[in-house]
Amino acid sequence: MEKNARIQRVLLLGSALLLAILYQNREQGLNYLIVSVAVGVLSLYQNLGTQKSKLVYLILVGMVVSGLGVYLSGQTYSILVWWLNLILLGSVTAYPNFKNASLVVKTISTQTPRLFGGLAMTLGNKDQSKAGRLKSWFRYFGVPAITLILLISIYANANTYFAKSLEASWLTIKNLFGDISFQIFFWFGAGLVFMSYFFIQENSKTLEEEDEKLQLELIREKKRSPFRFLNKRLLRKMQVSIAFFSVINLMLFWQHVTEIQNVWFGFEFTGQLLKGFVHDGTWLLIYALIISIGITWYYLDSNLVFMKKSTLFNALIVVWLLQNLLLVITVAVRTSFYIEYYALAYKRILVLFFLGFTAIALLSLIYKVLARKSLSYISNNLVGAAVLILPVSGCLNWDVEIAKYNFAHAEKAYLDYEFLKDMNNEAFAYMENRQEELNRIDSIQALRFPVKIDSKESEFAETVSEKQALLKAKGEQLDIWEQNLSTLQALRNLENEN
């Protein structure tokens, strides 16, 4: 046992040191992909010969895909997804048979404080009471310290004067210590914490028991009433539900008819602003979808589906869910009009991803009705979908894709120069910096969008040239570990244009 403990200690310290070497003073790139593969293999090694749930395999795939996403895109969003996957994978490594996704958040919140006690024991402190005190220290001091760091970063982003004074104070402290790299200490400490998830198995028996109690199949709950009114009340609830879903189905059908007539086939663009048409209408439809899913969830979490004469009730719910799928298509149609005439933007892309996730939720609910699955089964499907969708969505540099699309469609769709100025440096490799071409685009924009006058091309060419120069300087400083495909392709595109 002592030999195994020594090996575990060496591997933990070694992996933390590796993370520090790969990350300190380096941009995001190949280093994240290497760590993703390493922790994926480590997670599998820690549970050799143990049966694993589908959820664990999904998170394993998500971990590698998120690392690939950082290498392909190099964007901040991909990095956030990567860290989220690392925490998820580390948490479920302690519970390889975990089958209920609804407990994943609980796993993270309960395992992290326990982890610090295990970390102290692994690094040499075998005293259980002292390890317990370290857990308490984390609860009372560690959490406030992390919260303080988070709030300071928010204040610094919200107030430029505070950020500058904070930066000046940090530089003063840094100069006192000369050439000592603070980053390597930070990343080594972060490596110890995050790698501990894979080496220290701090299980919670309470969570394991809770996980065992949850069922993926819907089970009829038999209740006894001393007044013998239960069956009659359940029948009354069935009748009210049938009446409710009948009316709401007719209302939604009526809404679809008007939407198809006036939007799908009756929309005509004459240069008008589409903010009210798309923003207000789309968000109201999204709220309606969320409410619809909640209503269905409420009625399906009962014994109504087990009643002998529940065929009509089930049919009405399925029709209601299918009509909500049509509502998803309606929101997609409105969003497509907005993209066609006002180009791509972050929120429009986010809406499309949300619609895809909503479609998965609705299809899962339909399957629940037909196969009598429990709500835990639906939760697993949705978490599994999120675990795959988030890393995949991080594989593209969205600033680059938006810049490419918006300039390619500048003669038809509105080109917002002010919006484009805030994008990352890689996106500027695909933007136009020739003044004569920008003048030509601007003249087309003025004719096609007379009501949209808050975006002009003046000084945009200069901004693009400056950003492209910064991108070239960045490319010259990158080593092999911090290279990402998005930056390399952007630099190659600049070379081809020159």
Q: Single out the residue of 391, 381, 388 nearest to residue 101, CA to CA.
A: 381
Paired strand residues for 217: 373
Is the pLDDT at 202 greater than 80? The verdict is no
Q: Are residues 209 and 241 in the same domain?
A: no
How far is the CA of 187 from the CAs of 133, 150, 465, in angstroms? 25, 17, 35
Q: Are residues 6 and 146 in the same domain?
A: yes
> Tens digits of per-residue pLDDT, 472-493?
888 888 778 878 898 889 888 8
Q: How far apart are alpha carbons 419 and 460 in whole angstroms?
A: 11
Paired strand residues for 160: none
> Tens digits of per-residue pLDDT, 283-321?
766 777 677 777 776 766 555 555 556 678 778 888 888
Q: Are residues 73 and 156 in the same domain?
A: yes
Q: Are residues 365 and 309 in the same domain?
A: yes
At 229 the pLDDT is 47
> Tens digits of per-residue pLDDT, 261-287?
877 786 776 666 666 666 666 676 677
At 400 the pLDDT is 93
Per the domain annotation, does 221 fall within a domain?
no
Q: Are residues 167 and 243 in the same domain?
A: no
Per the domain annotation, does 226 fall within a domain?
no
Q: What is the DSSP string of 431-479?
A: S---HHHHHHHHHHHHHH-TT--S---TTHHHHHHHHHHHHHHHHHH--
At 265 the pLDDT is 80
Q: Are residues 354 and 472 in the same domain?
A: no
Task: Provide mean pLDDT across the span 172-198.
Answer: 70
Per the domain annotation, does 386 fall within a domain?
no
Q: Domain range holding 313?
A: 234-373
At 2 the pLDDT is 46
Q: Are residues 28 and 169 in the same domain?
A: yes
At 1 the pLDDT is 41
Per the domain annotation, does 219 fall within a domain?
no
Is the pLDDT at 457 greater than 80? The verdict is no
> Tens digits of per-residue pLDDT, 21-80?
888 777 788 888 988 998 888 888 777 767 777 778 888 899 999 999 999 988 888 999
Quick one: pLDDT band at residue 131, thresholds 50, 70, 90? very low
At 302 the pLDDT is 57
Per the domain annotation, does 130 fall within a domain?
yes
Is the pLDDT at 339 greater than 50? The verdict is yes
* Count of structural domains, the chain: 3
Within 13 Å, how many C-alpha atoms sit on residue 107's CB side?
25
Per the domain annotation, does 380 fall within a domain?
no
Q: Are residues 309 and 199 in the same domain?
A: no
Q: Are residues 116 and 195 in the same domain?
A: yes
**Residue given tokens 């008819």 in the structure block:** 257
Q: How far apart are alpha carbons 406 and 415 in whole angstroms?
A: 6
Q: How far apart are alpha carbons 122 and 119 in whole angstroms?
A: 5
At 66 the pLDDT is 93
> Tens digits of per-residue pLDDT, 370-415?
777 767 777 777 888 888 889 999 899 999 999 999 999 988 888 8
Per the domain annotation, does 347 fall within a domain?
yes
What tokens does 314 get? 């089930």
Q: Are residues 156 and 72 in the same domain?
A: yes
How confident is the prediction for the chain on average, in pLDDT?
A: 76
Q: Are residues 287 and 409 in the same domain?
A: no
> Tens digits of per-residue pLDDT, 205-251?
666 676 676 665 655 555 554 444 445 666 666 677 778 788 888 88
Nearby residues of 349 by Cβ (< 8 Å), 6 or more positions away: 398, 402
Is the pLDDT at 456 greater than 70? The verdict is no
Q: How far apart are alpha carbons 224 and 105 in whole angstroms?
A: 35
Last residue of a domain, one of 213, 242, 271: 213
Task: Please provide the size of the chain in residues.
Answer: 498
Per the domain annotation, does 382 fall within a domain?
no
> Tens digits of per-residue pLDDT, 107-129?
766 666 555 555 555 555 444 44
At 402 the pLDDT is 94
Q: Single out the residue of 196, 185, 189 nearest to residue 39, CA to CA.
A: 196
Q: Single out the residue of 315, 320, 317 nearest to residue 256, CA to CA.
A: 320
Q: Are residues 151 and 246 in the same domain?
A: no
